[in-house]
């Protein structure tokens, strides 16, 4: 089992801090929660952003193997259409794919939530409902990922 830290773009550090700041308008408890939401949103909106400079990484051991890794695996598999992406040898590549979707998705997430900070929680709830219902063929959806993995 690999144990590298999960990378986040250095230039997004302030956005992460704002989204966990419960004294203001933060609605997330942890950076990991933001990362997973942003990665899923980035994938669904086809917003992938490569980056070089990294902020302090998120320890891999805070991620749940049964939920978080399942989402990361699903997105990496959907992106590559190659089952070998799930192998131990491809662990770094799998994480890089998700890290880049999280970097792209964070911009979308932050902008939507901070459009009206006092309504951030309602906005987030509405985003989740919309993603759940999304069936447009142009947009990737969670149901499609689940169907693809049902083999």
Asked if residue 3 belongs to a domain, the reply is no
What is the per-residue pLDDT across 117-143, written as a single tens digit (0 to 9) for each?
A: 888 899 999 888 887 776 554 455 555
Please name every residue paired with 45 in a beta bridge, in sequence order, or none if there are none.
none
pLDDT at 114 over 60: yes
pLDDT at position 3, please? Answer: 74
Asked if residue 16 belongs to a domain, the reply is yes
pLDDT at position 136, please? Answer: 54
Say how many domains are in the chain.
1
What is the per-residue pLDDT across 65-74, written as a single tens digit (0 to 9) for each?
A: 889 999 999 9
Asked if residue 37 belongs to a domain, the reply is yes
Asked if residue 150 belongs to a domain, the reply is no
Range of the domain at 92: 10-144
Asked if residue 110 belongs to a domain, the reply is yes
Asked if residue 40 belongs to a domain, the reply is yes
pTM: 0.84
DSSP state of 54: B
Query: Among the residues of 1-67, which ranges form H helices?
Result: 13-20, 31-44
């Amino acid at each position: 089992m690999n144990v590298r830290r999960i990378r986040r773009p250095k230039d997004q550090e302030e956005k992460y801090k704002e989204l966990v700041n419960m004294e203001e308008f933060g609605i997330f408890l942890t950076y990991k929660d933001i990362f997973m939401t942003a990665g899923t949103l980035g994938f669904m909106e086809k917003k992938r952003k490569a980056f070089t400079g990294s902020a302090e990484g998120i320890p891999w051991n805070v991620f749940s193997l049964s939920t978080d890794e399942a989402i990361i695996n699903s997105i990496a598999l959907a992106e590559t259409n190659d089952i070998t992406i799930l192998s131990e040898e491809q662990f770094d590549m799998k994480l890089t794919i998700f890290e880049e979707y999280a970097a792209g998705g964070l911009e979308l997430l932050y902008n939507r939530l901070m459009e009206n900070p006092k309504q951030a929680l309602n906005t987030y709830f509405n985003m989740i409902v919309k993603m759940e219902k999304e069936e447009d063929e142009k947009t990737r959806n969670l149901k499609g990922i689940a169907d693809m993995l049902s083999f």
